[in-house]
Each structure stands twice: as structure tokens, then as C-alpha cells.
Structure 1
Amino acid sequence: MADSNPTDIAIVGAGIIGVACALQLARQGRQVVVIDPQDPGMGASYGNAGHLATEQVFPIADLSILKRLPAMLLDPMGPLRLDWKYLPRALPWFARLLLNLRPASYHRTVAGIRALNEGSLGAWQRLLDSIAQPQLLRQDGSLLVFERAASRATLEALRQRMQQQGVPVDVWSSADIRRAAPQLSEQLLGGLFFPATGHFLDPYLVVCALVSAAQASGVQFLKRRVLDGRVDAQGVSLSTDQGPLAARQVLIACGAHSAKLTAALTGKKVPLDTERGYHLMLPQEHGRLPFAVTSLERKFIMTPMAGGLRLAGTVEFAGLERPANMQRAWQLQRLSEGLFRQALNAQDATPWMGFRPSLPDSLPVIDRVCDGKVLLAFGHQHLGLTQAAVTAEWVVRLASAPATLSGMDAYRLDRF
């Protein structure tokens, strides 16, 4: 595409958010091109936990992170890990995170996450129904379990906080757990069941289904790397590794890689970091669980999928450049020990690591800037899959709406 023949809207990023936005924009009659150096869905969207986490309305950290900092630096297998070599680069981000835990900022964050999550299940139902693939989402709820008597008070406090935020939650006894998931261990004392949640049978297959629908609606997918960009009178000019590309509008939706292009186009430096997430896929495990189960004490999640059982949930701060520490993925198998009546079968298991885009206030950027020439949809941290469909609905509104749009203040770029 030469600069003299610009496309209507170029989307940078072919993950679940970029692809969902592409489909919805194309259905509005927009000419859409999606650009990514990888095949669609091969980033964080490929290996996420698969949990539709509408219940998770609180930020990724609280003030207890100060007490945990030594363990984060010293324990390479801990559930929340900060690579000491990355510490100098991470400190400004963590400082901003702590500032956002002040009461006013914290309440603003919770309200912002809740607003997105409350619309997420319905948005996903509409999107999957529209491509005749509703079976990809199982709306069977999810369960948070605990094993130690000392954790009962923590669980009750969490229940009360969630009820205050309008999150549907039921208290389950150990007998309730045994009835619903009989293969779980009898040592589990109880838990919280979240009926308004669910899980995807294969997150990557969801992306592929949306890509097929988008292509049928005229969306073009280009395997290119965007190197730079600038805003001009006609729209946006992108420099790629295969030449220039011009568009009247551009949507930045490339997750953890969004900061550089955002700065080039808007002049705004976004404090975007990455939570490196790991999973271990157990292809021999089928039928163990009816829904996603999270351990309160062990801090990881187990999600039943079409391809087996996926163990996920650790967080590592080490940036985009350092190689993956796959021992963190294998640690998930060790964390599962004792949670089932019989040990999980790890034969042919495969480890994986991906980058979750995180901002220090735990809110994404969903905005329209530069006189509407630049749209933004990134920074959804560990809720990218959950919030992808509702984000796409909002982006469609932003693409043609005036610069101000009701209900979007919490997600604006100018908050930084």
C-alpha cells in the first residue's frame, strides 16, 4: 500500500483485542488492515489461562506488595517474581503502582475494572453468537478454593469485598466442592463460587474463529513489523519492515509492545510494563474439572480445555528481552500436587510464556486522540481475554465518535 492510497483504518496488533476490533469495525463498513509480525493470536492470546474473569475487579497488587518485595527478588519460583536485574527499570513503575493504591486512585481503578468486567460476558455472548461459535465459551462459573483453616477469614473478607462491588458470589462448603468436582482432594475446606464467569475451550481457536469471520468481512492481515509512525494532515503514516503504509486512522492494540508506537504518534510516554505469564498444558488430562479452579494459597489456576488441562497464573517482572524461565511453568505442576485425589498426568506436557501488558493503575488505555486519527486499546493486564469483546464494542464507538465519549474517562491516555 503506497502512501498515496491510504487504507481506512490500520490495526497494529493481531491478538484477541486487535482481531475482535477488526471484525467489529469491518462490520461497520470500515476498510480494515491488521498488521503484526506474527500470525494472529500467537502472542499472549495464544497461552492465556482461558478464564473469563469477570469476578476479578481489584488491582493486581495491594500495599502488602511492600512486605513481599524481598521474596519477589529472592524466590525465582514464587507466584510474584521480580528479576533483580530488571529492578532498576521496574522501580519507577512500582512506585507509580504504589501511588495508585491511595484510596481515591484505588476506588477509581476498581470502578474502572468493574465497568469493563460487567459488560464482558454479554459482549462475548454477542460476539460468539454473531460468528455462530457460542460453544467456544462455557458459562459454567469458576471456583476459588482454600485448604488451610487460617485462610477462612481471608476468604470471607474477599467475599464481602466482592459483594460490595456487585460481584455474584456463593460460599461453597467442602461437600459442595465434592459434589461439583469429585476429583478434587478432600483436603479442600471450601471456597467461593462465581456463577457469572466461565472459560474458553481454546483461547487460540477463539482468535482463529474471529480471524476467519474478519476475513469474510473483508479484513486484510499483513505479516509485517511496524517500526515507526507519524501523524500527518491525511491521517497516519506507518513505517514497516516491508515499506510504508498509510491510513486515515490507526488503532494501537499490540499489547505489551504498544508503548513505542504510542510515543511516536502521540508524544506521550506510557508507563507500560509486562507481566510475564507462564502456563503448563497437560494434553493427557481430560474430565478432571468441570470449570476453572483457582487455589487461594497456591495462587494459580487450572482450566479445562479441549486440548487438556491448562495450569497458569504466575507473574514475573523481567521485561520483554530476557529469555523465558520455563522452570516457572513446570513449577505449576508441583503446585497442583495434593489438590486432586490422584496426581495429574504430565506426559507430553508443554510449557509456555507470554507477555501481559500492564499499567501501574491496572486499567487499560482505551481512547481516541490526535483528532481521532489515533485510537488506543492496550494495557488490559491479565484481563485481556475477558475484556476483549467489550473493548471492541467501545472502540467501534470511538472510531466514529467525537473526542469526548461518556464513560471513558478512566481509560484515557491523558491520565499519565
Structure 2
Amino acid sequence: MPDNSTSNSPHQNADIAVVGAGIIGVACALQLARQGLRVVVIDQQEPGQGASFGNAGHLATEQVFPIADLSILKRLPAMLMDPMGPLRLDWKYMPRAMPWFTRLLLNLRPAPFQRTVAGIRALNESSLGAWHRLLEGIDCPGLMKEDGSLLVYERPESRQALQALEARMRQQQVPVEFWQAKDVLETAPQLSENIQGGLFFPSTGHFIDPYRVVCELVKAAKNCGVQFIKQQVTGGQMSEAGVSLVTPQGRLTARRVVIACGAHSAKLTSALTGKKVPLDTERGYHLMLPTERDRLPFAVTSLERKFIMTPMTDGLRLAGTVEFAGLQAPANMERAWQLHRLSKGLFRRDLSAEGATPWMGFRPSLPDSLPVIDRVWDGKVLLAFGHQHLGLTQAAVTAEMIAQLASAGSTHALPALAPYRLDRF
């Protein structure tokens, strides 16, 4: 594994400081450095140790719809009462979450819903091409497997719902194929004979090791002169020189800044722009099964059980579930272990949990399910956060957009950015 060590010495003369060393921040740093800019990345953790470490690894270009629909109102009692449910709202967090959920519901009205779908789709359609360019540029194309993914169903009565989803996908021009049970079992023979069929998405893929992707990008960025500083940014302000970032060790000054610190981006965005962003977090869990490397040929999701299984170099990763409980509540790792229980019956032989490791991370989510990708203050502040569960999928294309913003005279030169601008809030 490449050396990810970071510097603790302040860097006062950067052209751009990138706040956030996750997959999006590191990808942005590399693209900016390739433009000849002096770049410093600052984060309180080592690169890739946040949500980028534990994501599902699925390049989910098929997921063009928001995580919720109006049925969330019917599910609200279960969300509050079932601590192991696939979509959970901690009742203690409910007072703080309700303004966000109210805005979410307003965005599910027909017109804003269609804007959201169009915005997600535009990013997703460009995502795999951007990843090809980025990985080929660092000579690591083998980290991505573009071999599709599968959504399976087990109950005959689920077929109608699956076909309705297929119709919606086709309407959005998402490549999709309906597979009968025999097609599923020919391709993934270790799955249970109870599988009735599924939807295959040929234009998706997965990473065999998401954390290694970050490490390889860090290595390439360092080779381009990017410096990494392990410090916490606690605040910031605009200055004549550009941007001044506050850390416990002092101030770090750069001409411009990229805010790409995921679920922690709201405070710094407010400090630098005066805009209060309705950012919350979908807490996601995974369970890594190290002895199950060869069970599946590609990522498989269960329609009824509502979780995903992705084959990786280090094992089979079970991931999913959405929990709204904020940034401060401790992780409930039983939710990670619940993923193993959910897998029982999906295979001819149940998955082994020997040596399994649980994990929880924060997905940054905005109530319209779209990220913020923008430049404000005459380009002194660039924004790249709020990608919810599509951060991995959209990281490379976001980095290309940020690189364009850094070199563009104004955002008017990039009309495609309209759905992602900060001023929509």
C-alpha cells in the first residue's frame, strides 16, 4: 500500500487548499495540480479514512432517483420504532431532522423531483467515463471492474414492483435488462434457487478496493507536488490574500479553497459564504466478510432485503441501510451485523461471518438529493460536497468539474452546473 503519511507543517503559499481528504477531495487535488497549481489538502484524518473507506464500492450509475419517495410518510412510524430497519430515524434526533425531512418532502413534488432526477442522471451518465480517464491517468485501470450489477427479487409478488422500476429506468434511458431466474443462476450460481429473477444494469461497475483507489490517487497527487496536512479546520474567513483557514495549530492561507469535507462541510461553507446549507448525514454501515471473496461475480442487491453485496479483493462487503442520527451519536454496530442476518437464505450456502469487521460512516446528504458543485466569491471558494450515497460514483466527474471551475472566468461558462449551485438554497 502506498505511503499516505501527511505533513503537519503549515503551508502558507498554496494556490488552492482542499479541505477534505476523501475520494472527492483527493481527486480534485490531483486534477488541480495537473493544471500547474500549488495544492495543499488538509484533513483531521489520514486520506480516505472517512466515508471513502467504507462505501459499498458500487459505481451506481443506475441510481438516478432520490433515496426516498412520498411513501416515506407511511414508513415514518417504522423508521422511529425499528432500530434495525433499512431506513431509520433516531427518535432522539427527530427534532433536529424534521426541518430537513420537510424540505425533502417538498422536493418530492413533481417539478422539483424531475429536476433532481435530471441532475443525478447528468452526473451519473458522465461518471464511468471520468473514472476511466482518472484511473488510466494514474496507471491503475484494473481497480475498476465495469462488469455490471444485479438487482434480484425472491418473492413472486415482487415481480410487478420490479417491472415498474424497470419501466421507470427505461424512461430515464438507464440501460437495464430483465433477467429470468435461469439467467441469474447461470451468472451467479451460488445464489439461492429461490431467486425469481432480477434487473441487470450493464453500464455499472465496482471497485475491487475503494480505499486503495484513494491511496493511489494520493500517491499520484504527491508526485504532482500536492502536500497533505493532518489538521482540523475549525473555521475560516475571506481575506485580501484569498482565504484564511483556522486550525488548532494556527492559520493556513491560500488564494482559493475547495470545500470537499463531506458531511462536515456545512460549517465552513457558512463561515466563508454566509450561506446556511441544509446538510445532514445518512449514516451508512458495512460488514466485511474476509472469507467470502469468490461468492459473486459483481455487485448484487436484494430488492426485498434492501442491501448490497460487492465482491472485493479483501472479501465480500455487505453494505446499505440509511440511518438519520446526526454526526455525534455513537455508531450502532448491530446495524452492520444485521446485514449478515439479512443475507441468510440468499445463497445456497449461508455466508460465513468468520473474521468479519463492521464499519459506519457519514454520507453527506442535501434534501434535494443533489450535491453542491459551484464557485463563489469570484472563484475564491469552490464547493464539492453533498453527494449522499453517490460520492464514489460521482467523484471523478466532480473533480473534472471543479478543475473547470478553477480555470473558468465564471460559472456562466458552465451552464451544466445550474442544478448544483449553492444559491438554490
TM-score w.r.t. length of structure 1: 0.99
| Cα distance in structure 1, aligned partners of 2:312 and 2:190 | 16
1:55 aligns with 2:62: yes
SS at match of 2:84: coil
The aligned counterpart of 2:43 is 36
| Cα distance in structure 1, aligned partners of 2:14 and 2:84 | 47
| Cα distance in structure 2, aligned partners of 1:34 and 1:175 | 50
8 A Cα contact 2:10 2:229, kept in partner: no
SS at match of 1:33: strand
After TM superposition, give the deviation of residue 2 of structure 1 in Å: 7.2
Per-residue CA deviation, residues 215-250 of structure 1 (Å, 9 max, x unaligned), is: 000000000000110012221011111111101000
Note the 1:227-246 alignment, pairs <5 A: 227-246=234-253
SS at match of 1:347: coil
| Cα distance in structure 2, aligned partners of 1:117 and 1:104 | 20
Note the 1:4-403 alignment, pairs <5 A: 5-401=12-408, 402-403=410-411
The one-letter code matched in structure 1 to 2:175 is P
| Cα distance in structure 2, aligned partners of 1:220 and 1:12 | 12
8 A Cα contact 1:2 1:246, kept in partner: no
| Cα distance in structure 1, aligned partners of 2:87 and 2:415 | 36
Per-residue CA deviation, residues 345-369 of structure 1 (Å, 9 max, x unaligned), is: 1100000000000000000000000
8 A Cα contact 2:64 2:117, kept in partner: yes
Pair 217,96 (structure 1): closer, same or farther in 2 beyond 3 Å = same
Identical-residue share of aligned pairs (%)? 75
Superposed structure 1 runs of 4+ greater than 4 Å apart: none
The one-letter code matched in structure 2 to 1:109 is T
The one-letter code matched in structure 1 to 2:44 is P
| Cα distance in structure 1, aligned partners of 2:10 and 2:189 | 61
The aligned counterpart of 2:417 is 408
The one-letter code matched in structure 1 to 2:315 is G
Pair 2,340 (structure 1): closer, same or farther in 2 beyond 3 Å = closer
| Cα distance in structure 2, aligned partners of 1:227 and 1:210 | 26
| Cα distance in structure 1, aligned partners of 2:74 and 2:295 | 36
The one-letter code matched in structure 2 to 1:342 is R
| Cα distance in structure 2, aligned partners of 1:328 and 1:388 | 27
The aligned counterpart of 2:6 is none
Per-residue CA deviation, residues 151-195 of structure 1 (Å, 9 max, x unaligned), is: 111000100100111100000000001100000000000000000
| Cα distance in structure 1, aligned partners of 2:270 and 2:195 | 49
8 A Cα contact 2:374 2:422, kept in partner: yes
| Cα distance in structure 1, aligned partners of 2:185 and 2:301 | 15
8 A Cα contact 2:283 2:325, kept in partner: yes
SS at match of 1:18: helix
After TM superposition, give the deviation of residue 6 of structure 1 in Å: 2.9
Instruction: Report the RMSD for the aligned CA atoms in angstroms.
Output: 0.9
| Cα distance in structure 2, aligned partners of 1:228 and 1:360 | 24
8 A Cα contact 2:411 2:417, kept in partner: no
SS at match of 1:244: strand
Per-residue CA deviation, residues 299-356 of structure 1 (Å, 9 max, x unaligned), is: 0000000000000001000000000000000000000000000010110000000000
TM-score w.r.t. length of structure 2: 0.97
Structure 2 unaligned segments of length 5 or more: list them: 1-8
After TM superposition, give the deviation of residue 118 of structure 1 in Å: 0.1
| Cα distance in structure 2, aligned partners of 1:186 and 1:300 | 19
After TM superposition, give the deviation of residue 286 of structure 1 in Å: 1.6
After TM superposition, give the deviation of residue 261 of structure 1 in Å: 0.2
The one-letter code matched in structure 1 to 2:21 is A
SS at match of 1:339: coil
| Cα distance in structure 1, aligned partners of 2:238 and 2:293 | 51
The one-letter code matched in structure 1 to 2:49 is M
| Cα distance in structure 1, aligned partners of 2:67 and 2:383 | 21
